[in-house]
Amino acid sequence: MSLKDSILQKAATYADEFIAIRHHLHANPELSYQEFETSAYIQDFLQKQGIPFTIMAETGVVGIIEGRNPSSRTIALRADMDALPIQEANDIPYKSTKNGIMHACGHDVHTTCLLGAAKILHELKGDWEGTIKLLFQPGEEKNPGGASLMIRDGVLENPRPAAIFGMHVHPQMQVGQVSFRSGKVMASADEIYITIKAKGGHAAAPHTTADPILIASHLVIALQQVISRNADPVQRSVLSITSFQGGHTTNVIPHEVKLMGTFRAMDEEWRYKAHELIRNIVEGLATAMGAEIDLHIDIGYPTVYNNEMLHTVAVEQAVELLGSSRVEETEIRMGAEDFGYYSQQIPGCFYRLGVMNIEKGISSGVHTPTFNIDEDAISTGIAMMAWLGATANYPS
């Protein structure tokens, strides 16, 4: 039997086993950097398979599988483990057992698929060449990003991977499909925090105040010029103020207003130029309107860039495994992913796994209380990850 047929057969055979694992992970979600139970579960699984591993970034797990001629190539496969602070609304037997915490972004699926790939790759290690690094990563949903901590702790060394693959569920793509995109695929993401302090007072005597509500309102409007009058119209970027907090009653102008928001870009040079523009607008408005304004830009994840050569290799392998009708092109998204930290360091390929099934009523987006997947996707996800790990070649 060929390696491809062996992987497909094993992925189908083990489907029920790994659906049950996904149910366990889904029912027991943990927030970013608190994935202690999940980490222990992964460690126990790898130990039972006979796969050696180390711990990084406190809860991260890094497994190693050696095939024939281990030094010939090293490929990294990555999955994230953390959940979101969302109350699950699904009525399912494996509903989250933790109040206010839910795997609403599919990280339970990612972890399950990598565990399945690990089992298959280990069982077939005599049929492929090189070394596979399994990266079970914490904290994708929260700055500074678990990927940055794993890199800090040396996950890309000893041995250094020639390339890395990561997968994400896609709730707007039909189950059984996968999708890829070359080049820029996801945006950088920075968080904006602004505190405006100015003289408040009685609402009936606004002339005796500097009115931070008014100043904040001007600031929200002025910040829109960062993109509308400074960014190249063909350059994708987003600046959204998402929180305006100030005042508690009708007859008092407050002394302080807080704004929060996000800035996202697809170009790293423009990203940091925009930060300067934001600072200039904030400081200029503070001077003009008599306010004290504190600005903090929390630098978040970089853009996700899919290496063109690795993309070509991945698409060719996906077509060989699944057939051309099941391989699509991923759209550009302004969402962010800390996989970008890896793809800034080594050639990376971040692809999508279709999990939607309209006939079954499964179509809710990620980060919603009703997100779920058609679990037929799990065998596809396992097979795709195992196949790329075993066959994708990229010159080191």
pLDDT digits over 17-32, tens only? Answer: 999 999 999 999 999 9
Strand partners, 296: 193
Tokens of 59: 């809860």
Q: How many residues does the chain have?
A: 396
Cβ burial, residue 51 (10 Å; 0-12/13-18/19+): buried
At the fourth CATH level, the homologous superfamily of domain 3-186+303-391 is Zn peptidases (3.40.630.10)
Give the active site residues. Answer: 82, 140
pLDDT digits over 201-213, tens only? Answer: 999 999 999 999 9
pLDDT at 364: 97
Confidence of residue 338 (pLDDT cuts 50, 70, 90): very high
pLDDT digits over 44-100, tens only? Answer: 999 999 999 999 999 999 999 999 999 999 999 999 999 999 999 999 999 999 999
The pTM is what?
A: 0.93
pLDDT at 131 over 80: yes
Average pLDDT over residues 109-130: 98
pLDDT at 396 over 90: no
pLDDT at 288 over 70: yes
- Domain at 188-298, CATH from 3.30.70.360, 3.50.50.60, 3.10.20.310, 3.40.640.10: 3.30.70.360
The residue whose two tokens read 């306010």 is 291
Average pLDDT over residues 151-178: 97
330, 375, 349: which is closest to 176 by C-alpha?
375
How far is Cα 10 from Cα 16, in angstroms, rounded to an integer? 11
Confidence of residue 165 (pLDDT cuts 50, 70, 90): very high
**Mean of the per-residue pLDDT values of the chain:** 96
pLDDT at 141 over 60: yes
pLDDT at 199: 95
176, 111, 123, 90: which is closest to 10 by C-alpha?
123
Confidence of residue 394 (pLDDT cuts 50, 70, 90): confident
Q: Where are the domains of the chain?
A: 3-186+303-391, 188-298
How far is Cα 270 from Cα 251, in angstroms, rounded to an integer? 43
pLDDT at 395 over 70: no
